[in-house]
Amino acid sequence: MPGKLIIPAATRRRILKTGTALGGLALAPLGFVRGAWAEEGPLGTFPVKGDTVKFGFCVPQTGAYADEGADELRAYQLAVKHLNEGGGVLETLKPSKLTGQGVLGKKVDYVTGDTQTNPDAARTAAQRMIERDGVIMFSGGSSSAVAIAQQYLAQEKSVVFMCALTHSNDTTGKDRRRYGFRHFFNAYMSGVALGPILAEDYGKDRRAYHLTADYTWGHTQYDSMKQATEKQGWTTVNNIMTPLGSTDYSQFLTAVLNSDADVLVLNHYGKDMVNSLTQASQFGMRDIDKNGKKMQIVVPLYSELMAKGAGDNIEGVLGTANFNEKLDDAGSQAFIKTFTDEYGFPPSQAAHTAYVQTLLYANACETAGTFYPPEVIKALEGFECEGIGPGKALYRAEDHQNFHDILVVKGKAPSERKDQYDLLEIVKHVPRAEIEYPADTFPGELGPYKPA
Amino acid sequence: MGRSPFAADLIAVGLFAAVVLTMPVWIVWIGGYEALATKIVIWAVFALGFDILLGFTGYLSFGHAAFFGTAAYTTGLCLKHLSADILPAFFITGGVSLVVAFVIGLLTLRRSGIYFSILTLAFAEMLHAAALSILQAYTGGDNGLTMHTKPELLGIRMEGLNVFYLAAIVAILGFFAARQIKRSPFGLMLRAIKENAMRLEYTGVNVWAYKMAAYMISAMYASLAGFLMVVLEPYVATKFLHWSTSGEVVIMSVIGGVNTLIGPMIGAAFMLYFENVIQAFIGEQWRLVLGLVFVLIVIFLPGGFVDGFNRIRRAVGLGGRERHHNVPDAPAPVRENRGDRAARQPGE
């Protein structure tokens, strides 16, 4: 049904475009704008009035993921600065239509909100941005539950949502939405990347015990890690769901100690992971032998901020990451350098994805020649670029998941660290081809470009 | 005052209606927006119903989220699986809420004071835990209940101002009904429960039945609010069942002024305005500031905003009402006996 509705519109537009292009070279740019306006009626917060365009940045300022939120916000502010004044990744992104003088001739402005790491509060904050501030796009994270709730809101309101920190398979799987895009990798990719390395380092006959944050991200990461490790011959002993934002994990850790498991997998993130890993160390799990092997802890999703919070406990702990401040490709370096110059310390992966998402959205607007959401979405779908990180990154049209190289990382011992930010070492650079999967692995539907 | 009580009611409700119905206009002047106005009105309904229980009977329920959340989930499931029209959802939600309120009331109203509060809290937390565990398949767990439905009422799309006016009408009717209850013999009984339930029992009144009635009325207001919340946004968050939702409505009542009906609604407006508009100015530390505001109000203005308003009126010589701690309109001799300050100041 939607297909039938869309094709004639696209055709009409193409005819219109062709017509305008034939109209004359000198008038062509003007013609494009006019042509666009003629067809594109008001939708969501479109059209943008005045000479500034507003983005909404919705990050957790309170709750379990507040540290990630603060870093995201720094990255968003930097992205806006670069969009208006040039610099940073604008110089490495290819193909790029970004001018460094705003977007489509309008200066970029932004508003912020607090998601409180809570889907309801996040929706309220986003709604404020859409209704009162008229943002043309909103972006943010973390917590996949928050991202998914906002994605539905985005679809409802016809305002594009650029997901930042969300790692659940559901975000671009069962809950994928036409108005939502995710640059960050997901739990499935973590499993595929991490599985072989775990088997290599710890052996193929390990018994794993999972502690999992009880919401969409935790659930899908547990599934993906279970699948990936069992493929390597591991046994899954048990899994306990722990409430998001728990501070005391002793009851769960006692259960782990009393079992015959010799690997503990912590499907936790943010402050949850800092707490559970620290407490696991206090329980002596880093120094005991189980089944004649040294007990190991795995944190499938790792971040610099968590490593900082968990301190010396991260030594030798393996995990995956979307980005690391030691990457040496031109795009990563451009970002790392400008971020460090601005704030005095290197960015986290949360900051990287937030920054990149803002730029990719802005670039899509320039490419489409309009802020009209369906056209911007079409410009993002299937968009492949380089210069935002290692290798080429592709926005898959079928599920709005971005595919790019990811990293397997390991916590550094205190003695190996050069400075207080030197916490993780890159164990393996996992190329995009290894972590790609068919779009129908997780069934879901994007929904229409335009509300019926 | 020479006016009949009913006329006074009409004036009060008329004023209230005027303020509420124009809210989408004036809220924009103070940095708000349409959806915030709708949310304020919905929470006002919730707080209003809460005041019927807390203000009249003195029973502090710390588990009103149970009704708000259950109604929201029921409405959400109806809209998602049954029909996009909100009428079937309305009736089913009403039925379910009545049953839930009756059952919880049956089990909690045998106790009073802190025991009642804890029991209600326990039931609400049980429902919250159930929504996150055994009912996860239906409620969507921590993700909340997501859907693609666009709610409508008899073919009219329920969005934007349509939802606002629906909520506003509910709030105005709810306010009118609450004032009628307050003035009725039934309302007097409820206030007598607050004064001395045991004495009332000895006079042969079935106190339990009155408490139950008040509890269920209050629960229905909460359910209506939960229902409207989902009509406004076809999404149900687990937070609707969380104890913090129960806590929020208690705080709204306290900072607005318990037992004034209008007070808790003002409290609701203040809280939401703070959380959504002022928050953006303060940034990360907004919760700290909000906490400070509560502390200041409870210390210096225990009767809430309404008490503050009356104090100002008295100060400028307009004769605002004194705060009554107990039976609100006890006759003068009673107050004299109790030694109320109001009765001791005849010159005022």
CA distance B293 to A200: 57
Predicted ipTM beyond 0.85:
no
Backbone torsion region of residue B127, taken as left when φ is above 0, otherwise alpha when ψ lies between -120 and 50, otherwise beta: alpha
- Kindly indicate the confidence band of residue A33, based on its pLDDT and cuts at 50, 70 and 90: very low
DSSP string for residues in A156-182? HHT-EEEE-S---GGGGTTT--TTEEE
Provide the b/e sequence for A372-392 (b: ≥16 CB within 10 Å).
bbbbbbbbbbebebbbbbbbe
Backbone angles phi, psi at A38, to 5 degrees: -60, -40
CA distance A30 to A39: 15
CB A211 within 8 A of CB A260: no
User: Letter for the amino acid at A348?
Assistant: S
CB B61 within 8 A of CB B75: no
Return the CATH fold of A188-321+407-435: Rossmann fold (3.40.50)
Task: Tell me what pLDDT residue A35 has.
Answer: 42
Query: A2 preceded by cis ω (within 30°)?
Result: no
Q: Which chain A residues contact residue B141 at CB under 8 A?
A: 214-216
User: Letter for the amino acid at A174?
Assistant: K
CA distance A408 to A185: 12
Give residues 132 to 191 of A whose Cβ lies within 8 Å of B. Answer: 132, 144-145, 148-149, 152-153, 155-156, 170, 175
Alpha carbon separation from A31 to A11, A19, B317 (Å, rounded): 18, 9, 69
Give residues 305 to 334 of A whose Cβ lies within 8 Å of B. Answer: none
**Could you give the angle at the alpha carbon of B234 between the alpha carbons of B228 and B239, nearest 5°?**
75
For residue A430, the cross-strand partners are A406
Asked whether the predicted pLDDT for residue A38 surpasses 60, the reply is: no
Domain locations along chain B: 5-244
Task: Tell me what pLDDT residue B328 has.
Answer: 47
Alpha carbon separation from A66 to A59, A62, A338, A437 (Å, rounded): 8, 5, 23, 32
Mutate to test the interface with A, among B42, B146, B275 (most CBs of A within 10 A): B146
- Kindly indicate the confidence band of residue B339, based on its pLDDT and cuts at 50, 70 and 90: low
CA distance B294 to B286: 12
Contact A131 B34 (CB under 8 A): yes
- From A128's Cα to the closest Cα of chain B, the distance in A is 7
Give residues 107 to 166 of B whose Cβ lies within 8 Å of A. Answer: 132, 141-144, 146-148, 150
Packing angle, helices B161-183 and B207-232, rounded to 10 = 170
pLDDT in tens, B112-148: 888 989 999 999 989 988 888 788 778 877 777 877 7
Give residues 11 to 30 of B whose Cβ lies within 8 Å of A. Answer: 28
Asked whether the predicted pLDDT for residue A386 surpasses 80, the reply is: yes
Asked whether the predicted pLDDT for residue A237 surpasses 70, the reply is: yes
Q: Is B160 exposed, middle or buried (0-12, 13-18, 19+ CB in 10 A)?
A: middle
Q: Where are the beta strands (DSSP E) in A214-369?
A: 235-242, 263-267, 289-290, 293-294, 296-301, 318-321
Mean pLDDT over residues A327-346, rounded? 91
- Kindly indicate the confidence band of residue B2, based on its pLDDT and cuts at 50, 70 and 90: low
Asked whether the predicted pLDDT for residue A45 surpasses 90, the reply is: no
Contact A114 B286 (CB under 8 A): yes
Task: Tell me what pLDDT residue A31 has.
Answer: 41
Domains A43-185+327-404 and A188-321+407-435 equal at CATH topology level: yes
CB B151 within 8 A of CB B79: yes
B273 to chain A: closest CA residue: A128
Contact B142 A216 (CB under 8 A): yes
B195 vs A: CB within 8 A:
no
Query: B184 preceded by cis ω (within 30°)?
Result: no
Query: A431 preceded by cis ω (within 30°)?
Result: no
Mean pLDDT over residues A28-37, rounded? 44
Among B239, B276, B286, beta carbon nearest to A120: B239
Q: Which chain A residues contact residue B240 at CB under 8 A?
A: 120
Q: Looking only at Cα atoms, what is the longest distance across chain B?
A: 66
Go through chain B and tell me how many residues it has: 348
CB A31 within 8 A of CB A23: yes
Go through chain A and tell me how many residues it has: 452
Mean pLDDT over residues B284-313, rounded? 84
Q: Is B312 exposed, middle or buried (0-12, 13-18, 19+ CB in 10 A)?
A: exposed
Domain locations along chain A: 1-39, 43-185+327-404, 188-321+407-435
pLDDT in tens, A174-217: 889 999 999 999 999 999 999 999 999 998 889 999 999 888 88
B28 to chain A: closest CA residue: A132
Task: Tell me what pLDDT residue A36 has.
Answer: 46
Asked whether the predicted pLDDT for residue B74 surpasses 90, the reply is: yes
Task: Tell me what pLDDT residue A362 has.
Answer: 93
Asked whether the predicted pLDDT for residue A25 surpasses 50, the reply is: no
Mutate to test the interface with A, among B142, B233, B282 (most CBs of A within 10 A): B142
Q: Which residues, 6+ apart, have CB-to-CB distance to B289 below 8 Å?
A: B282
Question: According to the CATH classification, is domain A43-185+327-404 in 3.40.50.2300?
Answer: yes
A74 vs B: CB within 8 A:
no
A155 to chain B: closest CA residue: B148
Task: Tell me what pLDDT residue B321 has.
Answer: 65
Task: Tell me what pLDDT residue B101 has.
Answer: 92
**Could you give the angle at the alpha carbon of B244 between the alpha carbons of B238 and B248, nearest 5°?**
120
Task: Tell me what pLDDT residue B297 has.
Answer: 87
Residue pairs between chains A and B whose CB atoms are closer than 8 Å? 87
